[in-house]
A = this chain, B = another copy of it.
Amino acid sequence: MCHSLMARTADPNRREAILDAAHTIFARKGYAAAGIADLAGELGIGHGTVYRYFDNKRDVAAAVLDRALTRIAEVVTAEDPGATDDLAGYRAQVERIGQRLYDLFAADRALGRLVFFDLGAVDDELRERLHAAHELFAAYTAAYLRNGVAKGFLRADLDVDTTARVVNGMIFEGAAQVSRTEDPRPLRERWIRAVVALLFDGVAAR
Contact = CB atoms under 8 A, between A and B. Distances in A.
A205 B153 contact: yes
Contacts of A87: 204-205
**What size tier do the contact residues of chain A reach?**
35 or more
Contact of A169 (B32, B153, B155, B173): B173
B121 A198 contact: no
Interface string A113-150: 00011101111100100010000000000000100100
Nearest to A201: B202
Interface string A152-175: 111111110011011111111110
A203 B199 contact: yes
Nearest to A154: B203
Given A2-B4, A32-B121, A117-B120, A203 B168 contact: no
- Copies of this protein chain in the complex: 4
A170 B174 contact: no
Interface in A173-196: 173-174, 176-177, 180, 187, 190-191, 193-195
B203 A190 contact: no
B193 A200 contact: no
A102 interface: no
Contacts of A195: 166
9 contacts: A30-B123, A87-B204, A148-B203, A153-B205, A154-B205, A166-B191, A167-B170, A199-B203, A200-B203
